Amino acid sequence: MHYYEYQSRHKGAWQGVLKHYSSPGQTTGHSLSRQPMVSRSGQTCELQSMGGRVVAIGRMLGDRAEVPENAYRIVVDEILEFHAELFGARGKTFGDIDVGSTVTWHKAFTNVI
Protein backbone atom coordinates (compact mmCIF):
# COMPACT_ATOMS: atom_id res chain seq x y z
CA MET A 1 0.00 0.00 0.00
CA HIS A 2 1.17 3.53 -0.65
CA TYR A 3 -0.80 6.78 -0.38
CA TYR A 4 -4.58 7.13 -0.03
CA GLU A 5 -6.45 7.95 -3.18
CA TYR A 6 -7.66 10.86 -1.04
CA GLN A 7 -4.30 12.53 -1.61
CA SER A 8 -5.18 13.28 -5.22
CA ARG A 9 -8.94 13.65 -4.75
CA HIS A 10 -8.75 15.83 -1.66
CA LYS A 11 -5.42 17.56 -2.13
CA GLY A 12 -6.62 20.59 -0.18
CA ALA A 13 -7.53 18.42 2.80
CA TRP A 14 -4.05 16.87 2.84
CA GLN A 15 -2.46 20.31 2.65
CA GLY A 16 -4.62 21.31 5.61
CA VAL A 17 -3.30 18.35 7.59
CA LEU A 18 0.29 19.28 6.80
CA LYS A 19 -0.38 22.94 7.59
CA HIS A 20 -1.85 21.88 10.95
CA TYR A 21 1.47 20.25 11.82
CA SER A 22 3.61 23.20 10.68
CA SER A 23 5.12 25.52 13.23
CA PRO A 24 4.50 29.27 12.75
CA GLY A 25 8.11 30.15 11.81
CA GLN A 26 8.52 27.51 9.12
CA THR A 27 8.40 28.52 5.49
CA THR A 28 9.10 25.12 3.92
CA GLY A 29 8.38 21.55 4.91
CA HIS A 30 6.45 20.60 8.01
CA SER A 31 7.23 19.67 11.58
CA LEU A 32 6.69 15.96 10.97
CA SER A 33 9.97 15.91 9.05
CA ARG A 34 11.71 18.02 11.69
CA GLN A 35 10.89 15.86 14.72
CA PRO A 36 13.71 13.74 16.16
CA MET A 37 13.80 10.19 14.88
CA VAL A 38 12.38 7.80 17.47
CA SER A 39 12.21 4.09 16.80
CA ARG A 40 8.60 2.94 16.86
CA SER A 41 9.35 -0.48 15.42
CA GLY A 42 7.01 -3.15 16.73
CA GLN A 43 4.52 -0.73 18.31
CA THR A 44 0.85 -1.57 17.80
CA CYS A 45 -1.13 1.14 16.06
CA GLU A 46 -4.50 2.06 14.61
CA LEU A 47 -4.71 3.09 10.96
CA GLN A 48 -7.34 5.78 10.58
CA SER A 49 -9.18 7.12 7.55
CA MET A 50 -9.23 10.86 6.83
CA GLY A 51 -12.58 10.88 8.60
CA GLY A 52 -10.98 9.49 11.76
CA ARG A 53 -12.45 5.98 11.57
CA VAL A 54 -10.13 3.16 12.57
CA VAL A 55 -9.91 0.98 9.46
CA ALA A 56 -7.13 -1.43 10.48
CA ILE A 57 -4.77 -2.43 13.31
CA GLY A 58 -1.10 -3.09 12.70
CA ARG A 59 2.50 -2.93 13.92
CA MET A 60 4.98 -0.26 12.91
CA LEU A 61 8.15 -1.28 11.14
CA GLY A 62 9.66 2.09 12.07
CA ASP A 63 10.88 4.96 9.92
CA ARG A 64 12.37 3.45 6.78
CA ALA A 65 14.46 5.11 4.08
CA GLU A 66 12.12 3.89 1.30
CA VAL A 67 9.06 5.41 3.03
CA PRO A 68 8.22 9.14 2.78
CA GLU A 69 9.08 11.19 5.88
CA ASN A 70 5.39 11.73 6.60
CA ALA A 71 4.53 8.01 6.68
CA TYR A 72 5.18 4.73 8.48
CA ARG A 73 5.58 1.24 7.10
CA ILE A 74 2.98 -0.96 8.86
CA VAL A 75 2.35 -4.71 9.04
CA VAL A 76 -1.44 -5.14 8.93
CA ASP A 77 -2.62 -7.44 11.74
CA GLU A 78 -6.38 -6.88 11.54
CA ILE A 79 -8.61 -5.30 8.90
CA LEU A 80 -11.72 -3.60 10.30
CA GLU A 81 -13.06 -1.94 7.12
CA PHE A 82 -12.39 -3.94 3.97
CA HIS A 83 -13.83 -1.18 1.76
CA ALA A 84 -11.49 1.52 3.13
CA GLU A 85 -9.08 2.79 0.49
CA LEU A 86 -5.37 2.17 0.74
CA PHE A 87 -3.07 5.15 1.09
CA GLY A 88 -1.93 6.08 -2.46
CA ALA A 89 -3.20 2.99 -4.25
CA ARG A 90 -5.94 4.24 -6.58
CA GLY A 91 -8.95 2.00 -6.54
CA LYS A 92 -7.37 -0.45 -4.08
CA THR A 93 -8.90 -1.21 -0.69
CA PHE A 94 -8.01 -3.28 2.36
CA GLY A 95 -10.10 -6.01 0.71
CA ASP A 96 -7.33 -6.31 -1.90
CA ILE A 97 -4.62 -7.22 0.63
CA ASP A 98 -4.13 -9.97 3.19
CA VAL A 99 -3.50 -9.76 6.91
CA GLY A 100 0.28 -9.78 7.29
CA SER A 101 0.80 -7.49 4.28
CA THR A 102 2.87 -4.35 4.73
CA VAL A 103 1.42 -0.96 3.87
CA THR A 104 2.57 2.65 4.02
CA TRP A 105 0.32 4.90 6.12
CA HIS A 106 0.42 8.66 6.74
CA LYS A 107 1.78 9.55 10.21
CA ALA A 108 -1.08 11.99 10.84
CA PHE A 109 -3.52 9.07 10.53
CA THR A 110 -1.53 6.54 12.57
CA ASN A 111 -2.33 6.30 16.28
CA VAL A 112 -0.04 4.30 18.61
CA ILE A 113 -2.10 2.18 21.04
Residue 62: what pLDDT? 62
For the chain, the structural domain boundaries read 6-112
Residue 64 CA to residue 58 CA, distance in Å, equals 16
Low-confidence ranges of the chain (pLDDT < 50): 1-37
Q: Which pLDDT score is estimated for 112?
A: 95
- Give pLDDT, residue 101: 97
Output the pLDDT for position 65: 73
pLDDT digits (tens, 9 = 90+) for 48-65: 998 999 999 999 996 567
DSSP assignment of 42-94 equals: T-EEEEE-TTS-EEEEEEE----TTS-TTEEEEEEEEES-TTSBPTT-TT-BG
